[in-house]
Amino acid sequence: MLFNSNTFLFAFLPFVLAGFFVAKNLSGGRAAQFWLAICSIVFYASAGLSLLPPLALSILVNFLTGRALTRRHLRGETTTALLFAGVAFNLFLLGWFKYANFAVANLNLFGLHLALPGIVLPLGISFYTFTQIAFLADAAHGLASEYDILRYVLFVTFFPHLIAGPIIHHREMMPQFAPERLTLRIFDHLPKALMLFTIGLAKKVLLADGFATLAQPVFDNAAHGLAPDAIAAWGATLAYTFQIYFDFSGYSDMALALALMFGIRLPVNFLSPYKSASIIDFWRSWHMTLSRFLRDYVYIPLGGNRRGAWRRYVNLMIVMTVGGLWHGAGWTFLCWGALHGFYLLVNHAWRGATGRWRLTPLSLWSGRAITFIAVALAWVLFRADTFAAARTIYTAMFGLNGVAVSVHLLTALGIPNGAQLGPIRIIPLLAAQLGQAEVILLCLAGLAFVWLLPNSMELTGFAPSPGSALARKLEFRNAARFAAAAAVCLFACISVINSGAPSAFIYYRF
Amino acid sequence: MPERTLLSPARWLGIFAVIFASLCAAAVVDATAQFGSRTRNSWLTCSYIAAKITRGSALASPKLVVISGSNATLGIDMETLGRALSIRAFNFGLSASDGPGFQSFEAAKILKPGDAVLMPLEYMAYDYGRPQDSLVDAVYACGHDYWQSLALGERLFYVMAAKPWRLIDAMVFESRKDEVARTAAEASDEAGPLGQRLSEAMPAATQTLSGVQQPLAIRFDPASPGVRAIAKFIREAQQRQIAVFATWPNTLLFPEYRDNPELRKIRAFYDSLAVPVIGTPEDAMFPPDLMGDTIFHLNRAGIAVRTQRLTRSLADNPAFNSWLATSHGQAADVEHQSSNPAGGSDR
> pLDDT of B94-112, one tens digit each?
999 999 999 999 999 999 9
Interface test with B, best of A426, A476, A478 (most B CBs within 10 A): A478
Chain A contact set for B139 (CB, 8 A): none
Residues of A in contact with B7 (CB under 8 A): 478-480, 483
| Rounded Cα–Cα distance for residues B33 and B27 (Å) | 10
Give the pLDDT score at B208: 47
pTM over 0.95: no
Of the residues A201, A218, A477, the best mutation for testing chain B's interface (the one with the most B CB atoms within 10 Å of its CB) is: A477
List of chain B residues whose C-beta atoms are within 8 Å of the C-beta of residue A206 = none
* pLDDT score at A356: 67
Contact B170, B272 (CB under 8 A): no
DSSP secondary structure of B70-83: HHHHTT--HHHHHH
The band of B335, judged by pLDDT with boundaries at 50, 70 and 90, is low
Asked if the C-beta of A477 comes within 8 angstroms of chain B's C-beta atoms, the answer is yes
* pLDDT above 70 coverage of chain B, percent: 89
* B342: contact with A, CB 8 A cutoff: no
Option in B6, B9, B212 nearest A429 (CB): B212
Cα dihedral B298, B302, B308, B310 sign: negative
Strand boundaries in chain B, DSSP class E: 63-68, 88-93, 116-119, 243-247, 251-252, 277-278, 285-286
**B207/A contact by beta carbon, under 8 A:** yes
- Model confidence at B312: pLDDT above 50: yes
Q: DSSP state, A504?
A: P
DSSP designation for B298: B
> Kindly report the CA angle at B222 between B218 and B228, in degrees rounded to 5?
110
State how far the alpha carbon of A244 is from the alpha carbons of A121, A195, A278, A290, in Å: 21, 22, 19, 16
Report the Cα–Cα distance between both ends of chain B, in Å, rounded: 100
pLDDT at residue B347 is higher than 50: no
Distance CA A57, CA A40 (A): 16
Q: Is the peptide bond before A267 cis (omega within 30 degrees of 0)?
A: no
Chain A contact probe: residue of B4, B20, B256 with most A CBs at under 10 A: B20
The torsion defined by the Cα of B177, B181, B184 and B185, in degrees rounded to 10, comes to: -160
Whether the per-residue pLDDT at B7 is higher than 90: the answer is no
Q: Is the Cβ of A488 closer than 8 Å to some Cβ of chain B?
A: yes
Predicted pLDDT of residue B346 = 34
Buried b / exposed e over A443-456, threshold 16 CB at 10 Å, is beebbeebeebbbb
Q: Phi/psi zone of residue B346: left (φ > 0), alpha (ψ -120 to 50 degrees), beta?
A: beta
Residue A6 phi/psi, 5° resolution?
Answer: -60, -40
- Identity of the residue in B16, B212, B215 whose CB atom sits nearest the CB atom of A194: B16
Q: Could you give the ipTM of this predicted complex?
A: 0.82
Interface of A with B in 6-45 (CB under 8 A): 6
Identify which of B151, B47, B164, B149 has the alpha carbon closest to the alpha carbon of residue B108. Answer: B149
DSSP annotation of B217 reads -
Quickly list DSSP for B93-156: E--GGGHHHHHHHHHGGG--TT-EEEE---GGGGG--SPPHHHHHHHHHH-HHHHHHS-HHHHH
**At B212, is the pLDDT very low, low, confident or very high (cuts 50, 70, 90)?**
very low
pLDDT score of A294: 92
* Cβ neighbours of A472 in B, within 8 Å: 1
Rounded distance, CA A168 to CA A166, Å? Answer: 6
* Greater pLDDT, B60 or A501: B60
* Among candidates B13, B130, B211 on the partner chain, residue whose Cβ is nearest the Cβ of A190: B13
pLDDT-derived band at B314, boundaries 50, 70, 90: very high
Predicted confidence (pLDDT) at residue B211 exceeds the cutoff of 70:
no
Assess B9–A contact: CB distance below 8 Å, yes or no.
yes
Q: How far apart are the C-alpha atoms of A81 and A467, rounded to whole Å?
A: 50
Contact A93, A124 (CB under 8 A): no
Q: How many CA atoms lie within 13 A of B49 on its CB side?
A: 27
pLDDT for position A392 = 92
Using a CB-CB distance cutoff of 8 angstroms, which residues of chain A are in contact with residue B16? 191, 194, 483-484, 486-487
d(CA B78, CA B196): 8
Dihedral sign, CA of B332, B333, B339, B345?
A: positive
**Is the distance from CB of B77 to CB of B71 less than 8 angstroms?**
no
Phi then psi dihedrals of residue B216, to 5 deg: -70, 150
Return the SS3 of B289. helix
Give catalytic status of residue A161 as yes or no.
Answer: no
- Please say if the pLDDT value at position B162 is more than 90: no
Residues in chain B: 347
Q: What average pLDDT score do residues B212-241 get?
A: 88
Residues of chain A with pLDDT under 50: 432
B210 has pLDDT over 50: no
- Selected residues 222-251 of chain B with any CB under 8 Å from a CB in chain A: none
**pLDDT tens digits for range B67-89:** 999 999 999 999 999 999 999 99
Three-class DSSP category at A406: strand
Interface check B211 vs A, CB under 8 A? yes
The helix-helix angle for A309-327 and A125-140 (nearest 10°) equals: 140
CA distance A318 to A463: 30
Q: Whole-angstrom Cα distance, residue A290 to residue B210? A: 51
- pLDDT at residue B338 in the model: 52
Closest-CA residue of B relative to A409 is: B208
Kindly state the average pLDDT of the residues B145-149.
Answer: 94
Q: b or e along A316-332 (b: 16 or more beta carbons within 10 Å of the residue's beta carbon)?
A: bbbbbbebbbbbbbbbb
Type and span of the H or E element at A431: none
CA B7 to chain A, closest CA, distance in angstroms equals 5
Q: Which residue of A494, A497, A503 to mutate against B (max B Cβ within 10 Å)? A: A494
pLDDT, greater one: A183 or B312: B312
Give me the catalytic one of A73, A161, A169, A327: A327
**Whole-Å CA distances, B244 to A12, A412, B56, B233, B317:** 43, 49, 17, 10, 13
Q: How far apart are CA B241 and CA B247, in angstroms?
A: 20
Label the pairing between strands A403-406 and B63-68.
unpaired
Instruction: Report the pLDDT value the prediction gives residue B94, as an integer from 0 to 100.
Output: 94
